[in-house]
A and B are shown apart, each in its own frame.
Chain A
């Protein structure tokens, strides 16, 4: 999901009349030995340099951390002083109490600096993220892809069939509800962040590039272990989840900045949609703000560039060491559209690869590195379709994620040296409430659609055809369909059926600026029912929810996955598996 930043920034700067200083990293931060981070102390008002003291375990910070922090008297031209120390590294594990005072107010936070044990358990780590994937998506995917009879499934999803499992809590620094930026950032850095922020703690200043940074797993794996790194998605590559592998910005919407950060960090494999921010502004289809050609820049940096499945496979088979795959100007199409309905932008881009093919090619390129690899794979449209109340498309893309996990698991089984993690970055408030039956209670239009929703015993079972070899029923508009609803919605027309002509677009801009109205196109669907929204009028889609994500894990290092975990613990699991914190 993509949020406008104005509101969030406003909140972060206007709210919280700080009573005492704010210290970043925050209290209870867990920090990997050897990982870089920026220390920042924000004083509530003007603080005189002579009266400021920042200590670490009782010792002046300059001595404890090797360098003195930089003082700014008036941040953003306001009566607010701050000190910042960039690129701090702590090599010795233990509890670090940071105490900051301006002579009047004093605040202290404690960090837990942890090391990782040798020997390294995993050579490779593959982190699968089903963006917004919730329990209902998984269960629906299992029903469609494996079948169910007399209450028993005829098979398990690949992601069901893993030895380790945990619940992962997802809230951020600023809010109990998270977005895909700070939630993914927790996985890739081990630090909490705030809505719309990636690889930073969101500070109070207006600038979106000065916030205190934390190091990504990409940087750590490259810098400390010379590993290969890959980022694979079917959304725009600049979108929050894939961007979290490289980005440091307060504002996830700054795609041009994120493209530059990909180039700076140079992951060996970069694949997804989002070509619009790689091509010069004057080229039709571009969304860049300047005339830079980043496709050329990546080529100059040694990347093979692929724009179709065929080019991608050829490049990985030919031994490309670095591969940039851009398969759509915007988000790639979902699997239901690509393989079955042929709508969306499939006609314009008929050769977009499947996520399974992307994973195969990525592993082919990355596994050439003798030091192993870290790969993030996102099935990102689960979230986008769920926002748009397009549940069938979200379910098909969940099945696709499971197929991609199967590719990785088959690779892992060759040597048992790869840790696989599968989870969501956050959930949606979705549930399977029954089964729609077109022929319930006689022929249409005599019966309202809501009375064709079978609940409890009348739900029975859906009538999707048996899945094909990849787990997809080849028909989605069957007469007995799973009814999957979100508990959060804007004004929209509920049509109780899959959208066969293209992805759902439930709302359009409303009369009043910044508001939304139900898209009247759907009023024409027989029996459509206007549902007045239960969300604020400036919301145009279903929203994220605060429930825990399910995490499944497989391979060496997965034994740490159990019980109830915090999202920052997911980074720790990967760091421990790779022994990423062992001083080099």
Chain B
């Protein structure tokens, strides 16, 4: 890659209300389609993951911790996965302009969520917002295959383009 990262910026936000509406809709679709009779997953927003402040480390929010082990729905963007057909990708708040795995340094945003899919899938267009549902796992873990360190994961997940 000739060029580089740059501002690990937080680009324009979709309006929350609209975003939540879309998310709820998508979550409904997803759970209605493939899930069993379980209740609709709890909606988790990127803004809900960590408490404000924390220069020397982020603190998980009470909401996040309360949903540990529960089925949750999140909306975000797929970062380019390691290989084309993959059961493992990173969900980001905004579309990323670099591939964390191609990049030599850890220049991805701090508030990422690692998605482990129920079954491998083709990547979406990286500027398409996606809705993901999965079982929330919280705490530092290192992926055995890639060495990728994550704090928040959605396991046994499904996703769809919003």
User: Which chain A residues have a beta carbon within 8 Å of chain B's beta carbons?
Assistant: 1-7, 251, 253-255, 275-276, 278-279, 281-287, 295, 307-308, 326-331, 343-345, 347-350, 381, 384-385, 387-388, 390, 499, 501-511, 513-514, 516-517, 519-522, 535-536, 538-541, 543
CB distance B1 to A7 under 8 Å? yes
Report the separation of the CA atoms of residues A307 and B12 in the bound assembly, to the nearest whole angstrom: 27
Known contacts: A504-B11, A508-B95, A540-B98. The answer to whether A2 contacts B110 by CB under 8 A is no
Report the separation of the CA atoms of residues A276 and B58 in the bound assembly, to the nearest whole angstrom: 10
Interface presence of B156 (CB below 8 A): no
Interface presence of B86 (CB below 8 A): no
Residues of chain A contacted by B1 (CB below 8 angstroms): 4, 6-7, 514, 538
Closest B residue to A7 by beta carbon equals: B2
CB distance B9 to A504 under 8 Å? yes
Report the separation of the CA atoms of residues A171 and B103 in the bound assembly, to the nearest whole angstrom: 25
Report the separation of the CA atoms of residues A331 and B54 in the bound assembly, to the nearest whole angstrom: 14
Interface presence of B143 (CB below 8 A): no
Residues of chain A contacted by B96 (CB below 8 angstroms): 508-509
Contact pattern, B 40-59, Cβ under 8 Å of A = 1, otherwise 0: 00000000001011111111
CB distance B55 to A540 under 8 Å? no
Q: Write the nearest CB–CB distance from B11 to chain A, whole angstroms.
A: 3
Which B residues between 111 and 130 are near A, CB-CB below 8 angstroms?
125-127
Report the separation of the CA atoms of residues A329 and B111 in the bound assembly, to the nearest whole angstrom: 11
Q: Write the nearest CB–CB distance from A296 to chain B, whole angstroms.
A: 10
CB distance A2 to B151 under 8 Å? no
Interface of B is mostly: loop
CB distance A513 to B56 under 8 Å? no
Which B residues between 43 and 93 are near A, CB-CB below 8 angstroms?
50, 52-60, 77, 79-80
Interface presence of B158 (CB below 8 A): no
Q: 6 closest A-B pairs (Cβ-Cβ)?
A: A505-B11, A503-B9, A501-B12, A508-B95, A253-B105, A285-B58
Instruction: A284-B57, A284-B58 are known; give 12 further A-B pairs, CB within 8 A.
Output: A5-B104, A279-B57, A282-B140, A285-B57, A285-B58, A344-B9, A381-B7, A501-B12, A503-B9, A505-B9, A508-B97, A535-B3
Q: Could you pull out 14 A-B pairs where Cβ atoms are within 8 angstroms?
A: A3-B3, A4-B102, A6-B1, A253-B105, A255-B105, A276-B110, A329-B58, A388-B6, A502-B9, A505-B95, A508-B97, A509-B98, A511-B125, A519-B97
Residues of chain B contacted by A516 (CB below 8 angstroms): 97
Residues of chain A contacted by B110 (CB below 8 angstroms): 276, 284-285, 329-330
Partner of A344, one of B10, B54, B79, B105: B10
Known contacts: A284-B59, A502-B10. The answer to whether A519 contacts B2 by CB under 8 A is no
Interface presence of B94 (CB below 8 A): yes
CB distance B99 to A509 under 8 Å? yes
How many A-B pairs with Cβ below 8 Å?
177
User: Which chain B residues have a beta carbon within 8 Å of chain A's beta carbons?
Assistant: 1-13, 50, 52-60, 77, 79-80, 94-99, 102-107, 110, 125-127, 140, 149, 151
Report the separation of the CA atoms of residues A308 and B55 in the bound assembly, to the nearest whole angstrom: 9
Partner of B60, one of A284, A307, A329: A284
Known contacts: A3-B3, A390-B7, A538-B3. The answer to whether A509 contacts B55 by CB under 8 A is no
Closest A residue to B47 by beta carbon equals: A347
Residues of chain A contacted by B149 (CB below 8 angstroms): 281, 286
Partner of B104, one of A251, A275, A502: A251
Residues of chain A contacted by B2 (CB below 8 angstroms): 7, 536, 538-539
Residues of chain B contacted by A387 (CB below 8 angstroms): 4, 6-7
Partner of A343, one of B4, B10, B77: B10
Q: Write the nearest CB–CB distance from B46 to chain A, whole angstroms.
A: 12
CB distance B58 to A4 under 8 Å? no
